[in-house]
Amino acid sequence: MDANLQRPFLLADDEHWARVGDPPGVHYDRARRVLRLSSARRGLSWQEDADRARSLVERTPGSIDRFGTRARWDSVGRRVVATGAFPDEVTIYTPEPSVLVHDVAVGHDDVLYLAAGGVILKDLRNRWEPVTLPLAPLSAWRLAPIPTGGVYCLDRVLYRIARVTGLPQRSRAAFAYTPDTFRPKTDDPDPPRAQELPGATWPSAEWPVAIACSPEGRLALLTWVPDADAHLRILGEDDRLGAPARLRGVRYPYGMVWVGSDKVAVLVARSDAQGAEEAPVYPVAAGAPVAAGAPWRRARARWTRWATSTRSAACRRRARTGRSRRGRCSCTRRCRRRNTRPPRGRGRSCRSRGRASRSWGRRATTSATA
Instruction: Quote the percentage of the chain above a pLDDT of 90.
Output: 44
The residues with which 171 forms a beta bridge, in sequence order, are none
pLDDT at 183 (0 to 100): 76
55-85: b (≥16 Cβ within 10 Å) or e:
ebbeebbbbebeeebbbbbeeeeebbbbeee
Q: Among the ranges 158-162, 284-288, 331-335, 345-349, which has the highest mean pLDDT value? A: 158-162
**Alpha carbons 348 and 352: distance in angstroms, whole number:** 7
- Mean pLDDT calculated for residue range 107-124: 93
Residue 35: closest CA among 55, 18, 57, 48: 18
* Main-chain phi, psi angles of 113, to 5 degrees: -105, 135
Q: Among the ranges 5-9, 235-239, 280-284, 332-336, which has the highest mean pLDDT value? A: 235-239
Count of beta carbons in the 10 Å neighbourhood of residue 188:
13
Walk across the sheet containing 103-106 and list its strands.
103-106, 111-116, 118-123, 131-133
pLDDT at 220 (0 to 100): 95
pLDDT at 274 (0 to 100): 65
Average predicted confidence (pLDDT) for the chain? 77
293 residue type, one letter: G
pLDDT at 45 (0 to 100): 73
Worst-scoring range by mean pLDDT, 91-105, 126-140, 259-273?
A: 259-273
287 residue type, one letter: G
**Alpha carbons 217 and 163: distance in angstroms, whole number:** 12
The more confidently predicted of residues 301 and 20 is 20
Contact 229, 270 (CB under 8 A): no
pLDDT at 248 (0 to 100): 86
The residues with which 255 forms a beta bridge, in sequence order, are 267
User: Global pTM?
Assistant: 0.67
5: left (phi over 0), alpha (psi -120 to 50) or beta: left
Kindly report, residue by residue over 249-306, the tens digit of the pLDDT: 899 999 999 998 888 999 998 887 666 678 888 888 643 322 222 222 222 222 222 2
- Mean pLDDT calculated for residue range 125-149: 93
Computed from CA positions of residues 81, 86, 88, 90, in that sequence, does the dihedral angle turn out positive or negative? negative
Residue 342 has pLDDT above 80, yes or no: no
- Mean pLDDT calculated for residue range 34-41: 79
Domains, the chain, in order of start with CATH, read 21-283 (2.120.10), 295-369 (no CATH)
Kindly report, residue by residue over 52-86, the tens digit of the pLDDT: 999 999 999 999 988 889 999 999 999 999 998 88
The more confidently predicted of residues 9 and 221 is 221
pLDDT at 43 (0 to 100): 67
